[in-house]
Amino acid sequence: MRKTRRAVKEKDISTGAKSVIEHLEELRKRIIVSLISFVSLFVVLICLPGFAFADSYGIRIMRLIQSYMLNNIKTFPPLNLVFLDPLEPVFTVMKLSSLVSLIALAPLFIYQIYAYVKPAFAKKTENYLSVLIIGVMLFFVFGAVFSFCFLIPASFDVLIRFGLSAGAVPFLSMGKFFDMFLWMFLLFTLPFEMPVLIGVLSKAGIINGKMLSKIRKPVYLGLVVFSAAVTPDPTIFSMSILSVLLIILFEFGVILSHFFKKGETT
């Protein structure tokens, strides 16, 4: 009897250890798939169809963004970008290609996370997880389009006009121009996930609509301070846009929190 119990115990330990190893192996495979996908797309963007940046897809994307942005800045004479270092265009294309690769492969990354954690959830919770993932992607796409089409061009236009009104002549560096563009893109796009985050926390019972309503004023102040700290320019314009955007998204999240109450289905 004692040997039998010992054998069962050893078998359970062995099975548990094997389960942990299998989970780690699956995680490793999913990470490798994600990394290989990212590196492959990145290499394609910077190397094809030309060779080593020469008229590559990354350069074409950069030219499209550059043309779109400069055409939306109404100055005379029209603006052009310059580079002050031979490596500046290379690093600019690499940064832009990295961001494009991450955005293009975001559905794959999200699926890898979903497929890995899916077995740990019950069927009902699994449905909520699917809705969450769809919401994250939809809000990100909406935020990216809205930022690229309206918020970023308006910010650049106001900043350039401010410089012109001070009697300065715009001499825009390619590297700094795209650094500011990428930073603004992330700042104006990622906050669109706030309503989804609030909805998830409400569904988990961590927060609720009444709680958010009580702390509305401190949250407003915190969002304004955060906007002032992270915006890449010292003017009040970009800070104001980001502050208003965050406050609107917070209020939308408060509305969602009343629908995604803990223990209720939607």
Tell me the domain boundaries of the chain.
2-259
Tell whether the model's pLDDT for residue 10 goes beyond 50.
Answer: no
117-174: pLDDT as tens digits? 887 777 767 777 788 888 889 999 999 999 999 889 988 888 888 888 888 888 889 9
Measured CA distances, 149 to 29, 65, 135 (Å): 38, 11, 21
pLDDT value at position 171?
Answer: 85
Tell whether the model's pLDDT for residue 182 goes beyond 50.
Answer: yes
The average pLDDT across 70-90 equals 85
Tell whether the model's pLDDT for residue 15 goes beyond 50.
Answer: no
pLDDT value at position 13?
Answer: 44
pLDDT value at position 180?
Answer: 92
pLDDT value at position 11?
Answer: 45
Alpha-carbon gap, residue 97 to 140, rounded angstroms = 18
Q: What's the predicted TM-score (pTM) here? A: 0.82
Q: Which one-letter amino acid corresponds to residue 73?
A: I
Tell whether the model's pLDDT for residue 36 goes beyond 60.
Answer: yes
The helix or strand, by DSSP H or E, that contains position 220, with its residue range, turns out to be helix 216-230
16-32: pLDDT as tens digits? 445 788 888 999 999 99
Of residues 90 and 54, more confidently modeled: 90
Tell whether the model's pLDDT for residue 52 goes beyond 90.
Answer: no
Tell whether the model's pLDDT for residue 65 goes beyond 90.
Answer: yes
Tell whether the model's pLDDT for residue 97 goes beyond 70.
Answer: yes
